[in-house]
């Protein structure tokens, strides 16, 4: 009585086994991926913590280095006011050509033609020129310190990232 249906029953059993194996494998694979995701999330959390520590160190170093630069500028300007300004302004005149060249260089431009360098004396005091130079060096040194700090930050961040990929 079941003989005509044996083949159909076997086929249904085989199909159910295949479907069951597929979903069993899918579930096992999903668990494997979930485990890997969990491990990567832990690595990312550790990397973020290290990254935040590096950020704090870099920011602190930048603030400290810029503070030193600004203190040095302040001291140099005080020395300029007390000593150099009196000596320079009394004994030194600044040609108009110097002012034109400094102004052009500050704007990254080429100085005006030869008429602007005819040797006339300008109203600019030598101490003002020196003060501008001190300010410009201060800006340059601040930028230098920031660049060095950010280069170190990048190297540290790269190292943290590479360690998290292992």
Give the residue extent of every domain in the chain.
3-164
pLDDT of residue 118 exceeding 70: no
* 91-110 pLDDT, tens digit each: 888 888 888 888 888 888 88
What is the average pLDDT across 121-126? 85
* Length of the chain (residues): 166
Q: How much is the pLDDT for 83?
A: 80
What are the residues whose beta carbons fall under 8 Å from the beta carbon of 111, sequence distance 6 or more? 97, 100, 101, 104, 105, 117
Under a CB-based contact definition with an 8 Å cutoff, are residues 100 and 121 in contact? no
Per-residue burial over 52-83, b if 16 or more Cβ lie within 10 Å, else e, is eebeeebeebbeebbeebeeebeebbeebeee
Name the band, by pLDDT with cuts 50, 70 and 90, for residue 143: very high
Distance separating alpha carbons of residues 108 and 161, to the nearest angstrom: 39
Q: How many CB atoms lie within 10 A of CB 45?
A: 11
Alpha helices in the chain (DSSP H): 3-79, 85-91, 96-106, 126-164
Q: How much is the pLDDT for 117?
A: 57
Under a CB-based contact definition with an 8 Å cutoff, are residues 61 and 153 in contact? no
pTM given for the model: 0.65
Q: How much is the pLDDT for 4?
A: 72
Mean pLDDT for the chain overall? 84
Name the band, by pLDDT with cuts 50, 70 and 90, for residue 66: very high
């Amino acid at each position: 009585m079941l003989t005509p249906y044996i083949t159909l029953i076997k086929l249904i059993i085989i199909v159910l086994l295949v479907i069951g194996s597929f979903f069993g494998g899918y579930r096992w694979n999903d668990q494997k991926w979930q485990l890997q995701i969990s491990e990567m999330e832990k690595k990312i959390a550790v990397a973020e913590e290290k990254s935040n520590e590096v950020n704090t160190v870099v920011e602190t170093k930048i603030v400290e280095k810029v503070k030193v630069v600004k203190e040095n500028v302040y001291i140099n300007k005080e020395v300029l006011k007390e000593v150099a300004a009196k000596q320079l302004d009394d004994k030194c005149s600044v040609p108009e050509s110097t002012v034109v060249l400094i102004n052009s260089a500050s704007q990254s431009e080429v100085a005006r033609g030869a008429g602007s360098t005819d040797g006339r004396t300008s109203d600019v005091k030598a101490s003002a020129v020196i003060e501008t130079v001190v300010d410009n060096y201060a800006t340059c040194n601040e930028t230098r310190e920031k660049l060095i700090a950010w280069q170190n930050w990048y190297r540290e961040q790269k190292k943290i990232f590479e360690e998290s990929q292992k």
